[in-house]
Amino acid sequence: MNAAAHVSVLLDEAVDALAIRADGVYVDGTFGRGGHSRAILARLGERGRLIAFDRDPAAIEAGRALKDPRLTLVHSAFSALDEQLAELGVETVDGVLLDIGVSSPQLDDASRGMSFRFDAPLDMRMDTSHGQTVAEWLTDASVGEITEVIREYGEERFAHAIAKAIATARAGGAVATTGQLAALVEKAVRTREPGQHPATRTFQALRIFINQELEELSRVLPACVARLAPAGRLVVISFHSLEDRIVKRFMRDESRPPVLPRRLPLRAADLPPPRLLLVGKAVRPGEAELAVNPRARSAVMRVAERAREVA
């Protein structure tokens, strides 16, 4: 899968939101196939720098084709942003872009086991170099654990029925392929929204869980703010309501003064200022982008700026 096969969502909007300085230092937390990174590099001058993270070895390999001395590729989950920047000797950055979720190459590569469109080993790991696959987890997980994951991360109302179907099926052998899992879910889900495959929510839930996507996001957001220089921008594109809720609440809370006990003898002027300033409203893809890339339909972009006066 080449870079051209992956369409970066909200490309111009996201890069515009970073308010790039030619000599600035920026982080692309999710390199993918480099769409956002290329656009950032195009706006940087000779002294600018881009540090791009991805935990997918295939993404890092694709990035090696970009022979640009201003680009540093880091094979790591973005939750390790603070530690990785420290190793690189970078104290502050002028902007961070996070494009959360799965990329088109990951969905379209049958061997990754992330899609019910192909019958393939049930893997779903974003970093295929280590960690437990979904098939391995399903072998030992209890009905209660499977139910909880599918209900919490997939918001699936038939989670318990699906979990029981998986447990019954594995008694006769492991649920090892995407085709097996999709067929089980299809029988267990009695109704589904028009146009949506019955297994959509289950596959999404298991992928989010096995990659700890929400936990990774919750860990990286405070690190981003801590590393942002004054007036630096944090731009986050999410594709799932649970992800967007985390981003929205974090930015909201960081844009407000700290909540102190009511009887504490402090004036409002004495309170530490908020670390973030919200920039504009949530941005969603327009009709023209959706016509070209229907997968962008659930995308939401939120932007915040590091306050110039910091505590």
Alpha helices in the chain (DSSP H): 11-17, 35-43, 57-63, 81-87, 104-108, 134-140, 143-154, 159-170, 178-188, 200-210, 213-227, 241-254, 287-292
Q: Is 34 annotated as a binding residue?
A: yes
Q: Is 6 annotated as a binding residue?
A: no
C-alpha–C-alpha distance, residues 129 and 190, integer Å: 37
C-alpha–C-alpha distance, residues 102 and 114, integer Å: 9
Cα-flanking dihedrals φ and ψ of residue 89, to 5°? Answer: 75, 25
C-alpha–C-alpha distance, residues 99 and 85, integer Å: 19
Q: Is 109 annotated as a binding residue?
A: no
Q: Is 158 annotated as a binding residue?
A: no
Q: Is 113 annotated as a binding residue?
A: no
The encoded tokens of residue 212 equal: 């700890």
C-alpha–C-alpha distance, residues 41 and 83, integer Å: 23
Q: Is 270 annotated as a binding residue?
A: no
Q: Is 94 annotated as a binding residue?
A: no
Annotated binding site for S-adenosyl-L-methionine: 34-36, 54, 78, 99, 106
Annotated binding site: 34-36, 54, 78, 99, 106
